[in-house]
Amino acid sequence: MQVRFQDDQIIAEVEGTAFETVVPPGTKNSIFFSNKGINTIEFRFQEHNGTTWVDIGLAGSEFYNSLVKCATKHVVVTPNYNRFRMVASASGGSYLDFVIERHLERMSGGLVG
């Protein structure tokens, strides 16, 4: 079963959550995101380990970097825990468009959702 989410988010000057999702640990999440604004977006992906949010990658990695205006990136996030999010900020603000795609196994006649 393919699941696809598409949405957008205004990115403020102060770091905040762009999106957060709940998914079974180990599920591959293919994420495409674009900077539709004019200012560079600083972003990082994090997962919740049951106590606190921890960065998925180091600064400079594909999971903790920047996105200039009109640029698009693709990352695959496979979290170890059941919650992950993208946090972001942009000096002067910006606008993020994103798509999350994931493939989930479903038995014949099984639950969708």
Architecture in CATH for domain 2-103 = Sandwich (2.60)
- The predicted pLDDT at position 59 comes to 95
pLDDT at 1: 74
Please say whether the beta carbons of 43 and 112 come within 8 A.
no
Residue 112 has a pLDDT of 66
What are the tens digits of pLDDT across the range 21-66? 999 899 999 999 999 999 999 999 999 999 999 999 999 999 999 9
CA angle 17, 19, 24 (to 5 degrees): 120
At residue 63, the 3 state secondary structure works out as: coil
